[in-house]
A = this chain, B = another copy of it.
Amino acid sequence: MPQERPRVVILGAGFGGLEAAKTLARAPADITIIDRQNYHCFQPLLYQVATAALSPAEVAWPIRHILRRQQNATVYMAEVTGIDLTERAVNTKSGSFPFDFLIVATGATHSYFGHNDWAAFAPGLKRIEDATRIRRSILEAFEQAELARDDNERRRLLTFVIVGGGPTGVEMAGAIAEVARQTLARDFRQIDPRTSRIVLIEAGPRILPAFSEPHSAYARDSLTAMGVDVMTSTPVIRCDERGVDLKEGRIDAATVIWAAGVVASPAADWLAADHDNTGRVIVRADLSLPGYNNVFVIGDTACVRGAGGVPVPALAAPAKQMGHYVGRLIIQRLAGRSVPPFRYRPLGTLATIGRRAAVVEFGSLQLKGFIGWLFWSVVHIYFLIGLRNRFVVALTWLWGYITFQRGARLITEVPPPRPQG
């Protein structure tokens, strides 16, 4: 009887899961990729969907299309309900999938630090649906302000609060400022969108804390010049449907966007595994689950420490490195060889602030301003999956750059937010 090919099951087709699948393209194994969505979402550009610059289809791509030529890969759209480590099977709403190797790469979602009821008032930005929901909320605020007959209500509608001064918060604040000051400037009759108030609130002492002090200050100055109120050392005490409470007082705002914290997907529950305080599974040096050398956890779902014990950041590049590492490890193990422990190679980090302004820290390459923005654009275009997407996004950006316009300003219906767990 011929030996059956080993079965590798990958949960999640984000940056980590997809990279693992691609690395295993030539492995003598059957690869199954399971995701609850049918698409891979390019999360770094999701804020551009939320601010109407790009359409969802320009930052997302069907998983099975990406892997269509990889004959050993099968893609299923299914929702995981649990993992049976003893029986070596993943249970989903659409049946059970046995595995010989398992790679868990299910990502992370926003964390409200114990205040899950805030999710209803302050949506985060992790999924396509989050982005279209925020887009609807921003555009509707302007529409309702145009109709408002009360000054206080109009002011509340034209106030936008972004909680969290990391890259996503900075990008959102900059993009909303551009929407208000430029894109919409001439489109209303009763209101002047340029009078909108955009507030970026950070609990820590400075925004972009992962960047150097000078870049952090540059980001702050750039945002201030764009008309954003930057408030640091300001924790949010409470969110409700009409605004936020701070130590300093209350800000009435129709739109509050949450960019403050993340929590890993429920993988630690599925695996009954030890995890850190953001739910990330503690893994061994080869990214395997303690006690199971055929089960791996990667990307935002894993708690991994790099050189000097510094945690590996929850970004696309480390997730891809982990995916590639585990793919290679499985190939080597099937050939009877072993590999050294995972080593994180920091590539660098970058954040855009607005039209013509970005900060880039790639080792000794430190850029800011227009040249940083150009670098940021090229890097993101380069990493976008799918030829057509790259091309369309590049054209859309060029067009938007020349005209200040945003093509995706549609208020479409959205489902209610998912309950936070």
With contacts A39-B410, A62-B187, A187-B68 taken as known, whether A388 is within 8 angstroms of B399 at the C-beta atoms is yes
Instruction: Verify B413–A95 contact, CB threshold 8 A.
Output: no
- The number of chain A residues touching the other chain, given as a range, is 35 or more
* CB-based contact A76/B409 at 8 Å: no
**Interface pair A38/B129, CB less than 8 Å apart:** no
A-B contact pairs, 27 of them (CB 8 A): A38-B143, A39-B409, A55-B56, A55-B408, A56-B412, A57-B407, A57-B409, A58-B407, A60-B410, A64-B187, A68-B186, A75-B146, A75-B189, A76-B146, A76-B147, A77-B147, A94-B147, A95-B149, A128-B410, A132-B412, A386-B407, A388-B396, A388-B399, A391-B395, A392-B395, A392-B396, A415-B415
Q: In the docked arrangement, what's the CA distance between A149 and B408, Å?
A: 40
**CB < 8 Å neighbour of A411 from B77, B188, B190:** B77
Cβ of A109 within 8 Å of any chain B Cβ, yes or no, is no
In the complex formed, the residue of B with least CB distance to A416 is B415
A residues 365-419 near B (Cβ < 8 Å) are 386, 388-389, 391-392, 395-396, 399, 403, 405, 407-415
Of B39, B74, B408, B414, which contacts A57 at CB under 8 A? B408
Cross-chain contact A38 with B409 (CB below 8 angstroms): yes
Query: Quick check: is A253 within 8 A (CB to CB) of the other chain?
Result: no
List residues 196-216 of chain A with CB under 8 A from any CB of chain B: none
If A38-B410, A62-B187, A69-B186 are given as contacts, then 20 extra A-B residue pairs at C-beta distance below 8 Å, sorted by A number, are A37-B411, A39-B410, A55-B58, A56-B408, A56-B410, A64-B187, A64-B188, A65-B405, A68-B186, A74-B190, A75-B146, A77-B140, A77-B147, A77-B411, A95-B147, A391-B395, A391-B399, A392-B395, A392-B407, A395-B395
Q: Which of A69, A129, A407 has the most CB of B within 10 A?
A: A407
